[in-house]
Amino acid sequence: MTKYYVGYLQGNNEYVYIAGVDNGNVKISTTLEGALSFTDIGLAENLRDVAEDIVKNQEYNVLKITVTIQNTEVM
């Protein structure tokens, strides 16, 4: 399963992700569970553009994250 997130790398080499945008604020999350995700890269790019318009001194990146779920139970 592949999803696109928008975030940036902090000084401690950990990513933070956009969790929401409201009137003049970009809310962030330190976990993927709290972040906005998209299946379409174009929507993620649009969110990045909006966030960079609000927060002029922060460069946001579109992040492609793929999760593989595998059943390890032996039948």
Is 73 inside any structural domain? no
Is 72 inside any structural domain? no
Is 71 inside any structural domain? no
Confidence (pLDDT) at 73? 86
**Inter-residue contact 5 to 39 (CB < 8 Å):** no
Q: Answer whether 0.95 is exceeded by the pTM.
A: no
**Tens digits of per-residue pLDDT, 40-73?**
999 999 999 999 999 999 999 999 999 998 898 8
Beta carbons within 8 Å of 63's beta carbon, 6+ residues apart:
4, 5, 6, 7, 15, 17
Token reading at 36: 């906005």
Q: Per the structure, how many domains does the chain have? A: 1
**Tens digits of per-residue pLDDT, 21-45?**
998 899 999 999 999 999 999 999 9
